């Protein structure tokens, strides 16, 4: 074992893993975190605490994670390169490890232009691939990025990265995953899967490269709450691939039933993903709709855990 992570234990056992996202609030109210954690508890193996998603100021991922940890749950802190240089990143990694955080997801971070402080200066001292390598070297080599030795306890973390099978150019997406695997990623969470055909094509290349044997792949899924949300993701969100049949399925449902149909679509996608060789689990992204996660897990046969 590389860490004391429940997620690592589940994945190494060969069980189909389930993770979900928990979005910190736009304030200092810890009860928001407690409420969301109680909803997710028992239905997932680990949860992501997002790090300033959409570049909007929120409670920090490590602080929100420690609050949720009081519920006895395994969690993953996201850490973005957008807001920290390599010194700050390594400081936070040490601090998180000292507080018993065993999983990290290394991200570049949504660009400043999407957020509420557009005059802020983005850092991007290192990118997400370099951050994966930094965490791996701290853990396995007991070395800081500078080459200095870590004298004492090293951070024993299970290292995650993100992958987008749908971004342009598609032909290079598996190659980018290979770079993250080489850097030291232990698990990967993908962009939301709506286009199953394109995802299967990506996974075929991943298997041909043998990457599925080196890293645990958790496919991203998400319920769609409304027809407007589906159209927005299809037309306005870079790197998203929402096929017409998904939009039409929501359009055909009565307006008052569209949220339920969005959950049904998510369950159908999960059932298809479980049949794809190399998919080790799913990552459910239902930020600000955490109440949907238990229903999804039960309908997809992912509950009870264990």
Q: Residues 215-240: pLDDT tens digits?
A: 999 999 999 999 999 999 999 988 89
Mean pLDDT over each residue of the chain, to the nearest integer: 96
pLDDT at residue 301, rounded to an integer: 98
Q: What average pLDDT does range 162-170 have in this prediction?
A: 95
**8-18 pLDDT, tens per residue?**
999 999 999 99
Residue 287, pLDDT above cutoff 90: no
Q: What is the mean pLDDT of residues 32-60?
A: 96
Mean pLDDT of 280-290: 95
Average pLDDT for residues 280-288, to the nearest whole number?
95
Task: Find the mean pLDDT for residues 278-283.
Answer: 98
Where do the domains of the chain lie, and which CATH numbers do they carry?
A: 6-223+263-299 (3.20.20.220)
Question: Rounded to the nearest 5°, which phi and psi values hold at 159?
Answer: -100, 125
Q: For the residues 180-193, what does the mean pLDDT come to?
A: 98
Average pLDDT of the residues in 271-277: 98
Taking the CA of residue 45 as centre, how many other CA atoms within 13 Å lie in the half-sphere pointing to its CB?
23
Specify whether the CB–CB gap between 19 and 76 falls below 8 A: yes
Instruction: Look at residues 74, 56, 58, 34 and name the one whose alpha carbon lies nearest to residue 117.
Output: 56
**Nearest to residue 23, comparing CAs of 32, 31, 15, 14?**
32
Confidence of residue 306 (pLDDT cuts 50, 70, 90): confident
Question: 42 and 305 in contact (C-beta within 8 Å)?
Answer: yes
Q: What is the dihedral of CA 93, 96, 100, 105, to 10 degrees?
A: -70
pTM of the model: 0.97
């Amino acid at each position: 074992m590389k860490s004391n992570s429940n997620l690592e234990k589940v994945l190494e056992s060969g069980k189909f893993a389930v993770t979900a996202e928990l979005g910190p609030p736009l304030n200092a109210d810890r009860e928001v975190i407690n409420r969301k954690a109680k909803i997710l508890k028992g239905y997932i193996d680990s949860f992501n605490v997002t790090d300033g998603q959409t570049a909007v100021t929120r409670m920090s991922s490590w602080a929100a994670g420690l609050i949720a940890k009081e519920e006895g749950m395994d969690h993953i802190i996201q850490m973005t390169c957008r807001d920290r240089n390599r010194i700050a990143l390594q400081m936070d990694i040490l601090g998180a490890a000292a507080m018993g955080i065993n999983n990290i997801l290394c991200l570049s971070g949504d660009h400043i232009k999407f957020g509420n402080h557009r005059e802020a200066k983005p850092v991007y001292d290192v990118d997400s691939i370099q951050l994966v390598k930094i965490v791996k070297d701290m853990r396995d080599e007991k070395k800081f990025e500078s080459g200095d030795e870590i004298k004492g306890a090293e951070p024993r973390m299970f290292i995650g990265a993100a992958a987008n099978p749908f971004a342009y150019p598609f032909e290079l997406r598996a190659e980018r995953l290979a770079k993250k695997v080489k850097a030291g990623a232990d698990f990967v969470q993908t962009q939301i899967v709506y286009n199953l055909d394109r995802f299967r094509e990506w996974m075929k290349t991943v298997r041909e490269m043998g990457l599925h044997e080196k890293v645990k792949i958790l496919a991203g899924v998400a319920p769609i709450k409304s027809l407007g949300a589906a159209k927005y993701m299809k037309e306005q969100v870079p790197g998203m691939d929402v096929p017409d049949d998904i939009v039409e399925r929501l359009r055909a449902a009565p307006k008052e039933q569209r949220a339920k149909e969005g959950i049904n679509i998510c369950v159908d996608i999960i059932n298809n993903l479980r049949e794809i060789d190399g998919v080790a689990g799913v990552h459910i992204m239902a930020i600000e709709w955490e109440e949907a996660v238990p229903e999804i897990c039960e309908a997809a046969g992912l509950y009870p855990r264990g």
